[in-house]
Amino acid sequence: MKAAILVESLTGNTWKAGELIAANLQQEGWSITGLSPVKQPDHSSIQEADTVIVGTWVHGLFVVGQAPWAVDRLRALPSMAGKQAVSFCTFALNPGKSLDVMAQALESCGAQVLGGLALHRGKLAAHAEEFAARLIDNTAAK
């Protein structure tokens, strides 16, 4: 499988998670067509990929009002028609319904959304491994 990874990150956690996910997928034989910022998406990496992985971070008041950061930028990503998409968000306390909001945004880009996972910022390595394992299982089951 070929995956493009797009990341929105302020302090680096989500970018790190993207790198860890890439490494985990590569270990299982996937190729990564590119890792680029949502702000400046690498269009050719999206075109080349069959799976687009999009990550951002959760902002809000920690227990209320949580939302994925820059959801407007997610909605403005290039067309993903004919591709599958998966999301992840990093968070500190509680991601709220951030993944649902991300799924809607990716659907609006034409992707078939498989799902998503919230990654705790203190457990990035373990949660990135879990994300990659679930994605591989989900794709293999098709």
Ligand X SMILES: Cc1cc2nc3c(=O)[nH]c(=O)nc-3n(C[C@H](O)[C@H](O)[C@H](O)COP(=O)(O)O)c2cc1C
Give the footprint of ligand X on this chain (CB under 6 A).
9-15, 57-62, 66, 90-95, 121
Cβ 68 to ligand X shortest distance, Å: 9
For ligand X, the closer of residues 69 and 83 by Cβ is 69
Cβ 38 to ligand X shortest distance, Å: 11
Cβ 18 to ligand X shortest distance, Å: 9
Q: How far apart are CA 66 and CA 116, in angstroms?
A: 16
For ligand X, the closer of residues 24 and 66 by Cβ is 66
Residues in contact with 4: Cβ distance below 8 Å, sequence separation at least 6, in sequence order: 32, 33, 34, 36, 42, 45, 46, 48, 49, 51, 52, 53
